[in-house]
A and B are shown apart, each in its own frame.
Chain A
Amino acid sequence: MEVLDYIWLGVQAVFLGPEAFSVLGLPISITILMVLAGFLVGIMVGATPGLAGPVAMAISLPILISAFGYSEDALLPVLGFLIGVMKGATIGGAVPAILFNTPGTPDAYMTTLDGYPMTQRGQAKKALRIAHFSSASGDTFSDVVLIVCAPFLAIIVEAYLDLPEKTALFILSLSFIAAVIGGSPAKGLISTGLGLLAVYIGTGEDFYPRLSFGTEQLASGFPIASAVLGVLVIGAVFKGLEELWLEKRTSGNIAVVQDSGDQRLHVGDIKRLFPFIARSAFVGTAIGALPGIGSTLAATLGYTLGKSRHKKNKEDSDPNFGEGAPEGIAATEAANSSVSGANLIPVLSLGIPGNAAAVFLILAAESIGGFNPGPAVFKFTVDEVNPELVIVFGLFTTMFIANGLNWTIGGIFMRSMGIMIRIPKHILLPIVLLLALTAIYVQETNMAAIGFTLAFGVLGYFMRTLAISPLPFVIAFILGDKLEQSARQAFAATGGDPFFLFTSPVALVFMLLSVGVIIYATRKPKANS
């Protein structure tokens, strides 16, 4: 089994997997169909204000698992669908931002700055085309980087990191995430601490379920889906409903501007935009590869960098950033779209999720089983096939199928999504709430899980109200078990050395960095958010 054999097996797993139907004798595999379905759903969801990719991923996951079962055959169709959603939502988010000045996803906020002015000038279609082109470029670039980097990173980790170093790496990831997500490192630490505490309830090695107050309900701990969906999705729904409830404002009429002038995207345009796209794609990819920073910061940075370049180079007649400059859309969209692929680098090679979409990919892999993202996945075994590695290359294949769809039909579909803004939020959100709770129930089949989910939803709501980012909570919840396991293992493997985190140089560096990143973030509070 050479590397090329694995790549080929992965491609085959996608194209020659279980067949959905055949067109003119050519079999169409279910995985391809699921990527397409996910991609279209993603665009729709991204284009709907109040929804975002993770919501769709959360709700569809239990349905997908029921449809495909708990076998290895289920992994590629389910993960393919989720990847499709992730990518679709990225370009879909630009639609309401450009057409209606309402970002569909938080990272599309910067897109409104130049997108909406272009719409007001009657250049909506052109703005959408620019957004699509830049987004697809950034996304594709990021995927290439992922495929090149993830295996090497994993192999390095596996070769050089022993159990104590792996433990230290988890600690470093957690403190890094706490320090950089949201504006306040202190609040990030609180969010992380709560997430860890929640995952440690009812679990543990001893036969008495710890911290369970002796109750039956807490004895098996909180279901991971309850915690993740509760804090991320239900919390957001509560917050959205509260805002509507407080404002109770009637939505104003949407002014209709007729499109006028040349709407096409010319080679000249592309040439002019290319430097902005390239620079933002680099920025987005670099940021995406670090767990936890996310696409909003990437968009902000890409936009800011683009702005300074644009100021120097533009003709006087060209619009400034913020006044409807196509370069502004390109810089933003390329940056926020190039986060998603690179974000899978830590997911696949370390098992550490960096954003909400990655959280759901890990959740899917854990629910189905048979695929445990982490360095062991990239073991290029020679005599026998490593099925997990085949899945990885299958995943890479689905990403490129999604990119292909993005380049071919994505733009057309995206430009038809303006209608989604007409769905009123106060009707959408209650429906999303019941959908999400039903999704939890069909997975967990007990009412206690709904109760837990609502409780986590309330927690997520208060965290949002107090400007505490819920993402460190969720990531800590997912990593908590791995952290404890590897600490126990490292301690036992070193024969009970209490200083196991500090005896090897690599572990020591990781530990110093964990403290350093918190101190650094505390001393330099971020200006924005």
Chain B
Amino acid sequence: MRKLRITIENKSYEVTVEDLTESEGYPGATPVARPNPHSAAPVAAPAEKPVKPDLPIDSGAVTCPMAGSIKSILVKVGDTVKQNQPLVILEAMKMENQITAPVAGTVNSMDIAEGDNVREGHVLLVLE
């Protein structure tokens, strides 16, 4: 057990660090990586493995997860995007939902405009 002080953006946190490789009763048990769609807070998030898309994305189409209206579009055709980069803000269910890039790529085509009402499954844009 070690005590450490970490300062992030002028706020300091006292943390106790336990070395799990030696003392823990369950050696080798690794925390399971999970998708982190986007972190809302700039605070130190635990390190996570990059998320692999689990199923092959054959078309590169980014579809709408639920019915709503397009609040804003954050990219344009031709833009290069990184994985998990926000592409579109979809207003639905009392929320402004970020639609993020499932994979890195280039925006090939886009079939929406701000203010459009879209249905679930609607192809918002296509990544290449």
Partners in one complex: no
Q: Which A residues have a C-beta under 8 Å from some C-beta of B?
A: none
Q: Which B residues have a C-beta under 8 Å from some C-beta of A?
A: none
